[in-house]
Structure 1
């Protein structure tokens, strides 16, 4: 039974690792990126002070949710009753729940199609005529797609996009090099939750003084929770990619079903 390599940030890997252990699966955490909240962030602080002025807040990821609610720990209990939340996947709904945001008290909108969750499918769920002339806040990373911002503005919505966190690639030090060399000697199940992480992984393989390191990596089995990551994996030459729906439950089910 292949060991599962979890490539999430260290602090976000434990729940999945525990779930795998309950299924009798061994796992190792090998972060390909870390998440850092932007500490000096007056733009976000101002948006928080004026939150009731918005009709919609969109969180682009669970990391955006964590960044905002960690900055304002009492926000969940003081969330404006008329302020709708938009998210793109089950993992973000779970993150809201962890911070005490109850879907029975706050209107939460997300794509109805569980296997295709992105900005496009979220946009379909939004009542654009009702949002016209009103304000929307998008809480995002320091990089990413601007589709939703542009689409909302085209619908006459006043959009404020605020960066709440950044993705940081860890240094490819001797320890990580040794681990990666070891991984390439066998076959593992890799959980990949970021397209950028895939590019980092191949870049690290190309830096190894090992014949066919990239080709060996492309033969590993990837498990991804989003169709866009699956598309990028195919473009980068990965041969074995399993797509699950969003959320740890679906990832665990995919990993177990494969066996």
Structure 2
């Protein structure tokens, strides 16, 4: 659950982001909560998705894994998209095995799992990346050696979790249940805002999103955007933003709350 933004000394009309236009680059169906939080803080949320999410080209992997879910000891979902696409493909075909434990990372993924009835979920309480997951006691070598793990994910992605689990003695399989792509989107309105000084911040939540934004706007567009402050929740993403040319990059806390608090701190 998101928490209210603190406004010391302000009354009910507190609007710490008043007059600020904040670009949200998440996939369209995942941006609502963050856009709402920005508006509740008085800002204008400008939706400019740089990643499109769709189903995997075929569901052969899901159909196959549905026949042998009982073979696994742990199911890991990498994101809310993985939760949604995997469970929408699996649960109509069969019930979830009672002994198959569920793990994920990120509050959004936990919320999505809860929507499907999964409330006993292994997840880091601090951190939202593979490094945070493999630091959990449930992922220690003593806990995973000899265990079978299925990872539900999109196409591509990092292999750190799987590689580490294998090094610790686990047997790991991937199931690709959705795909990511760069959407066809017109960059002109965004660049016009920047040229007119009506764009105050860009929120980028993945390295892939950074690369897609740079590709969508092109070299000339990056010249327009490079001075706009970028807010991102991870050092790896921040480094990528600097690599493509952004000059002012702010690392935030995790989740929607962390990003909005960083915006309020920066502009307040």
If the length of structure 2 is used for normalisation, what is the TM-score? 0.82
Aligned to 1:135: 148
Cα RMSD of the aligned pairs, angstroms, is 2.2
User: What is the CA-CA distance between 1:215 and the residue it aligns to?
Assistant: 2.9
Contact 1:4/1:25, CA 8 A, preserved across alignment = yes
Aligned to 1:84: 101
Contact 2:191/2:225, CA 8 A, preserved across alignment = no
Aligned to 1:109: 122
Aligned to 2:188: 178
CA distance, structure 2, for counterparts of residue 99 and residue 200 of structure 1: 31
5 Å-filtered alignment, 1:110-259, equals 110-114=123-127, 117-125=128-136, 126-172=139-185, 176-185=186-195, 186=197, 187-206=199-218, 208=220, 213-258=221-266, 259=268
CA distance, structure 2, for counterparts of residue 158 and residue 81 of structure 1: 20
Superposition misfits of 4+ residues, deviation over 4 angstroms: none
Aligned to 2:49: 31
Deviation readout 1:146-170 (Å, 9 max, x if unpaired):
1222221222211111111111111
Query: In the superposition, relative to structure 1, how do residues 13 and 136 fare at CA in structure 2: closer, same or farther (>3 Å)?
Result: same
CA distance, structure 2, for counterparts of residue 166 and residue 35 of structure 1: 6
Contact 2:214/2:222, CA 8 A, preserved across alignment = yes
- 1:66 and 2:84 are equivalent in the alignment: yes
Aligned to 2:16: none
User: What is the CA-CA distance between 1:226 and the residue it aligns to?
Assistant: 2.4
Aligned to 1:55: 73
If the length of structure 1 is used for normalisation, what is the TM-score? 0.85
User: What is the CA-CA distance between 1:5 and the residue it aligns to?
Assistant: 0.9
Which stretches in structure 2 are left out of the alignment for 5+ residues? 1-18
CA distance, structure 2, for counterparts of residue 219 and residue 247 of structure 1: 24
Deviation readout 1:60-115 (Å, 9 max, x if unpaired):
2221112112224569x95433322222222222222233321xxx2x2223433x
CA distance, structure 1, for counterparts of residue 112 and residue 61 of structure 2: 23
Contact 1:64/1:165, CA 8 A, preserved across alignment = yes
User: What is the CA-CA distance between 1:55 and the residue it aligns to?
Assistant: 0.9
Equivalent pairs counted in the alignment come to: 245
CA distance, structure 2, for counterparts of residue 238 and residue 89 of structure 1: 26
User: What is the CA-CA distance between 1:204 and the residue it aligns to?
Assistant: 2.8
CA distance, structure 1, for counterparts of residue 200 and residue 115 of structure 2: 31
Contact 1:55/1:134, CA 8 A, preserved across alignment = yes
Deviation readout 1:155-193 (Å, 9 max, x if unpaired):
221111111111111124xxx132132132123211111
Which stretches in structure 1 are left out of the alignment for 5+ residues? none
